[in-house]
Amino acid sequence: MKNIGIVSYGAHIPRLRIKSSDIAKAWGKDPETITSGLGIIEKSVPSPDQDVATISVEAARAALARINIDPQDIGAVYVGSESHPYAVKPTGTIVGEAIGATPILKVADYEFACKAGTAAIQTCMALVKSGMVKYGLAIGADTSQAAPGDALEYAASAGGAAFIIGKEKVIANLNETCSFTTDTPDFWRREGRKYPAHGGRFTGAPAYFRHIMSNAKYLMDLVDTKPEDYDYAIFHQPNGKFPLRVAKMLGFTTDQVNQGLLCPIIGNTYSGASMLGFASVLDIAKPGNRIFLTSYGSGAGSDAFDITVTNYINELPREKAPLVSQLIEKKQYIDYATYAKYRDLLYED
Amino acid sequence: MADGAVPRFWREIPQRYNLISNQCGSCKKIYFPPRESCPYCRRKSMGKMKELKLKGTGKILTYSIIHTAPEHFEGQTPYPIAIIKLDEGPKITAQIVDCDLDDIKIGMRVKSTFRKIQEDGYMGAIHYGYKFKPVEVKK
Amino acid sequence: MMRDVAIIGVGVTKFGELWDKSFRNLIAEAGSKAILDSGISGKEIDALYVGSMSAGRFVGQEHVGALVADWSGFAHMHIPAIRVESACASGGLAVRQGYFSVASGMNDVVVVGGVEKMTDVVGDEATDTLATGLDQEWEAFFGATFPGIYAMIATRHMYDYGTTREQLAKVAVKNHANGALNPYAQFKRAIPLDKVLKSPITAYPLGMLDCSPVSDGAATIILCAANKAKNYTDKPVKIIGTGQASDTLALHGRRDICTFDSTVYAAKKAYKQAKLQPKDIDVAEVHDCFTIAEILAIEDLGFVKKGEGGKAVDDKITTLDGEIPVNTSGGLKAKGHPVGATGVAQIAEIVMQLRGEADQRQVKDAKIGLTHNVGAVGASCIVHILEAI
């Protein structure tokens, strides 16, 4: 797709952090084993007054801070998350109102586990390409839930990123996108339940690896590229190990993956994960950089993107909003008791 | 706070989300929340009040740390509230976030941020709005 | 042409957590005490004025005027009853409205009562109801509490004038010492400075003992045309000045965070009418819902200069034997603060002082007294000046 792509972007990561070792100690597990086993040192935690709506608004406002467009020209807002504040009443309308894009606006909320945000990007691409909107805003954000004591507790974190998609002054061209989807029940959360359930080791090979591998190969076939053609590769990151492993299996190097790999220090931000990884890459990207982005969402599916950074990236005042690295550095540690209170773990499901 | 009082708080979304104030067409004084008319110009200002979006930057005039929470804020204490003088003139009352309680000072520069303010219980509507965080002093 | 008005009788109930007394019991008790004290007969009553902040939320009852007329035994006489509300100044406002109705010549004898029953709801509900005196949409909505807003005044007063937590605490110590001498007070024990300073923080810098309590109680006075007062009592007390003023509802709207302009303007009007100055006042009951409120009051009433309220406390100017004894009853802090009753109870205390009936709290040669009743955080204020005639 010529000249359809990212026009601006923004990110938000809540300040609070909890160390994997502190969670491990609370549950009587060996901190060393857990930390090195999962490849996660610490994760972000939302404060009681933060949720997917507030994170989405911060990320969207950050994207708008870097660009001079009339918010009324944003014709669509799609927010992907698996922890929307309401089961019924979209996060997108709250964001739309908070950025001044209402009322002529297409809005819906998306859910597809961790890939709801990239699905939103695809939708916006189509709306922009067809001329149905001038700009589309795609957001992936989560304040993911994890049952106390469950393995997911070390990773489930909070954060999000927003991407404004358009045709003019595109800073990163979304050359091509494709998706690989099957009905695979590796991880799910039932309606009305507080915590998800998962299939343990089943979440590996038949789920994460199968979909990412298949989709990545499919995309590289479509655009006729090889891993070495890319400067950066971003994969969905449920822990610090899977993305490195799948990168290796596909033929990408650790160097290509590092900039977009945030899980070790902020955990798995679910719908925000690959999106934040992408934002982190855009923070330092240079004209001509080629980026390979592959998300994964349980249930299951993967969205992949072949991206080329344009000259316009140098015109974008990236310093007008916090860089991902700055958001990561701005942190305050809490202990497990405070974490339990903030994440509502002390109440019955 | 009346639970289920949705319309009352819905009406104030432009103020809580976007700090929409208004300005007297006569004396140019800015009011937040917006007023029907200017208390000083009175009838001269009727029909002449113009909507104006505030930047959200200002400084702390005074503050307190709440330890005994009111309804809907249980579990959040201790939290700071402050009176902030916005750069455009109006003064508002709001919570301070992302700041150690000991670091809050009168005169501190702050900027608005979008947060959850309260909800009508776990089944009710969620009300979002402004809180203020310290502005980094550029060295 | 306005005629002079006198107070010919007072009655107060004990203030406290009065589990056995209902809203109706309380107002009836205060009312009957006042009527007996005055010597009037029920047939002479022209109207009833009642101050009650929030009977609706505390006991689920509105139409309070009608209730009080009925429960005082006057329903069959069809006496007009008026309920007024100005948050914590409801009592003072009732006094003022009753005063106008007599001064104007419309009424000759008027009963003015104030009542609040705050313990029929759980503690949190009581404090949330008090907070309805704040700006609900622009202060309370964002998490501000009633003590929190007053605490912000304290923070700024400490910043502007160097007032200290110790000085605030000394106000509580003084008032509890006075309360210990008042048989009607909720708290009848002196409290040491240390205990006040160490009390759990409610809203920094105010601790629990900087705050007046949740209380039940009622107070009633009988007003009468001054030229007829001697028919009933040989110790009438004349209302020689009345003043009322309003200000912005929210503290953030004020001209100066550390001044209650409503007090300044209400007091100005009262002093002007009475042709007096602050230094002429012998004894005062001021609105100390929080310790900082008393510091502001003595400044805004003109007893000391702005900013010197803390120093005045250190110099013991406002103690029982000081230059200007303030809150001889124990104030809201120790006497208790059944919200609607307070404004009327303050008048009752000054009347007792001016009659020489204040027992161990008696201020020597008290001839002129002042009452100061504030609504919530100073959005309204009513000041009265009384003189023994």
Reduced to 3 states (helix: H, G, I; strand: E, B; else coil), residue B83 is: strand
Question: Cα-flanking dihedrals φ and ψ of residue C144, to 5°?
Answer: -75, 145
**pLDDT on residue A312:** 97
Contact C142 B68 (CB under 8 A): no
Q: Residue A348 carries which side chain, given as an amino acid letter?
A: E
Facing residue for B126 by CB, picked from A85, A97, A341:
A85
Please provide the DSSP assignment of A194-253 as one string.
SS-EE-GGGGIIIIIIHHHHHHHHHHHHHHT--GGG-SEEEE--SSSSHHHHHHHHHT--
Give the pLDDT band of residue B6 (cuts 50, 70, 90).
confident
Facing residue for B81 by CB, picked from C136, C143, C156:
C143
Distance CA A49, CA B77 (A): 12
Q: Sort B14 into a burial class: Cβ within 10 Å, 0-12 / 13-18 / 19+.
A: middle
Q: How does pLDDT run along chain A (349 residues), one tens digit per residue?
A: 578 999 999 999 999 999 999 999 999 999 999 999 999 999 999 999 999 999 999 999 999 999 999 999 999 999 999 999 999 999 999 999 999 999 999 999 999 999 999 999 999 999 999 999 999 999 999 998 899 999 899 999 999 999 999 999 999 999 999 999 999 999 999 998 989 999 989 999 999 999 999 999 999 999 999 999 999 999 999 999 999 999 999 999 999 999 999 999 999 999 999 999 999 999 999 999 999 999 999 999 999 999 999 999 999 999 999 999 999 999 999 999 999 999 988 775 4
Reduced to 3 states (helix: H, G, I; strand: E, B; else coil), residue A76 is: strand
Strands A290-294 and A232-235: parallel
B15, B65, B67, B97, best to mutate vs chain C, most C CBs in 10 Å: B67
> A11: which strand partners?
A161
**pLDDT on residue A346:** 79
- Single pTM value for the model: 0.93
> Cα distance from C158 to chain B (closest Cα, Å)?
10
Q: Sort A37 into a burial class: Cβ within 10 Å, 0-12 / 13-18 / 19+.
A: middle
Contact C143 B67 (CB under 8 A): no
> Cα distance from B115 to chain A (closest Cα, Å)?
5
Contact A49 B115 (CB under 8 A): yes
Residues 54-73 of B with CB under 8 A from A: none
Contact C252 B64 (CB under 8 A): no
For A15, name the nearest residue in chain B, comparing CA atoms only: B98
Percent of chain B with pLDDT over 70: 95
> A12: which strand partners?
A160
Neighbours of chain C (3+ CB pairs under 8 A): B
Strands A290-294 and A299-309: antiparallel
Give the pLDDT band of residue B136 (cuts 50, 70, 90).
confident
> Cα distance from B121 to chain A (closest Cα, Å)?
13
Interface predicted TM-score of the whole assembly (ipTM), two decimals: 0.94
Q: Sort C152 into a burial class: Cβ within 10 Å, 0-12 / 13-18 / 19+.
A: buried
The string of pLDDT tens digits covering residues C94-114 is 999 999 999 999 999 999 999
Give residues with Cβ within 8 angstroms of A250, minimum separation 6: A213, A216, A217, A227
* Strands ordered across the beta sheet of A74-80: A106-110, A74-80, A135-143, A158-166, A5-12, A172-184, A299-309, A290-294, A232-235
Q: Which of C149, C145, C154, C150 is closest to C127 using CA atoms?
A: C145
User: The tokens of C133 are what?
Assistant: 């005196």
CA angle A186, A190, A149 (to 5 degrees): 70
**pLDDT on residue B138:** 61
Contact C138 B92 (CB under 8 A): yes
- Bond preceding residue A300 cis, omega within 30 of 0: yes
**pLDDT on residue C280:** 98
The string of pLDDT tens digits covering residues C269-319 is 999 999 999 999 999 999 999 999 999 999 999 999 999 999 999 999 999
Q: In this complex, is the C-beta atom of C252 within 8 Å of any C-beta atom belonging to chain B?
A: yes
Which chain A residues contact residue B98 at CB under 8 A? 15
- Structural contact between residues C148 and B64, judged by C-beta atoms closer than 8 angstroms: yes
Contact A58 B113 (CB under 8 A): yes
Contact A49 B117 (CB under 8 A): yes
Catalytic residue IDs of A: 82, 114, 236
**pLDDT on residue C122:** 87
Instruction: Catalogue the long-range contacts made by C54-58 (C-beta closer than 8 Å, 24 or more residues apart).
Output: C54/C85, C54/C116, C54/C129, C54/C132, C54/C339, C55/C23, C55/C116, C55/C117, C55/C340, C57/C121, C57/C125, C57/C129, C57/C132, C58/C23, C58/C116, C58/C117, C58/C118, C58/C120, C58/C121, C58/C126, C58/C129
Please provide the DSSP assignment of A37-50 as one string.
HHT--EEEE--TT-
- Bond preceding residue B33 cis, omega within 30 of 0: yes
- Structural contact between residues C136 and C128, judged by C-beta atoms closer than 8 angstroms: no
> C215: which strand partners?
none
**pLDDT on residue A127:** 98
> Cα distance from B138 to chain C (closest Cα, Å)?
26
**pLDDT on residue B1:** 46
Distance CA C335, CA A125 (A): 71
CA distances from C183 to C216, C329, C338 (A): 15, 9, 16
Catalytic residue IDs of C: 88, 337
Q: What is the DSSP-derived secondary structure letter of residue C132? A: G
Contact C143 B62 (CB under 8 A): no
**pLDDT on residue B26:** 94
CA distances from A120 to A124, A141, A269, B51 (A): 6, 11, 16, 33
Give residues with Cβ within 8 angstroms of C184, minimum separation 6: C12, C13, C14, C15, C329, C335
Segment C357-367 mean pLDDT: 96
B6, B19, B62, B119, best to mutate vs chain C, most C CBs in 10 Å: B62
Which chain B residues contact residue A85 at CB under 8 A? 116, 126
- Structural contact between residues A301 and A167, judged by C-beta atoms closer than 8 angstroms: no
Facing residue for A15 by CB, picked from B75, B76, B98:
B98
Residues 106-125 of C with CB under 8 A from B: 124
Residues 75-114 of B with CB under 8 A from C: 76, 78-79, 81-83, 91-95, 106
Question: Cα-flanking dihedrals φ and ψ of residue C136, to 5°?
Answer: -60, -35
Q: In this complex, is the C-beta atom of B16 within 8 Å of any C-beta atom belonging to chain A?
A: no
Which chain B residues contact residue A98 at CB under 8 A? 17-18, 114, 128
Distance CA A345, CA A146 (A): 9
Q: Sort C360 into a burial class: Cβ within 10 Å, 0-12 / 13-18 / 19+.
A: exposed
Contact C148 B76 (CB under 8 A): no
Which chain A residues contact residue B131 at CB under 8 A? 49
Distance CA A142, CA A270 (A): 6
The string of pLDDT tens digits covering residues C7-19 is 999 999 999 999 9
CA C286 remoteness from chain centre: 7
Give the pLDDT band of residue C115 (cuts 50, 70, 90).
very high
- Structural contact between residues A174 and A13, judged by C-beta atoms closer than 8 angstroms: no
The string of pLDDT tens digits covering residues B72-83 is 898 899 999 999
Percent of chain C with pLDDT over 90: 97
Distance CA C94, CA C89 (A): 9
**pLDDT on residue C363:** 97
Q: Which helix (H) or strand (E) holds C369?
A: strand C368-375
Which chain C residues contact residue B94 at CB under 8 A? 142
Q: What is the DSSP-derived secondary structure letter of residue A168? A: S
- Structural contact between residues C291 and C210, judged by C-beta atoms closer than 8 angstroms: yes
B10, B111, B115, best to mutate vs chain A, most A CBs in 10 Å: B115
CA distances from A100 to A75, A142, C22, C24 (A): 11, 22, 53, 54
Number of CB pairs, chain B paired with chain C, less than 8 A apart: 101
Which chain A residues contact residue B17 at CB under 8 A? 94, 97-98
Taking any CB pair shorter than 8 Å as contact, residues of chain A touching chain B are 15, 47-51, 53-54, 57-58, 61, 85-86, 94, 97-98, 100, 341
Model confidence at B139: pLDDT above 70: no
Distance CA C242, CA C383 (A): 6
Which chain A residues contact residue B115 at CB under 8 A? 49-50, 54
Contact B33 C147 (CB under 8 A): no
**pLDDT on residue C1:** 65
Q: What is the DSSP-derived secondary structure letter of residue C199? A: S
Residue that is written with structure tokens 């609900």 in the block: C136
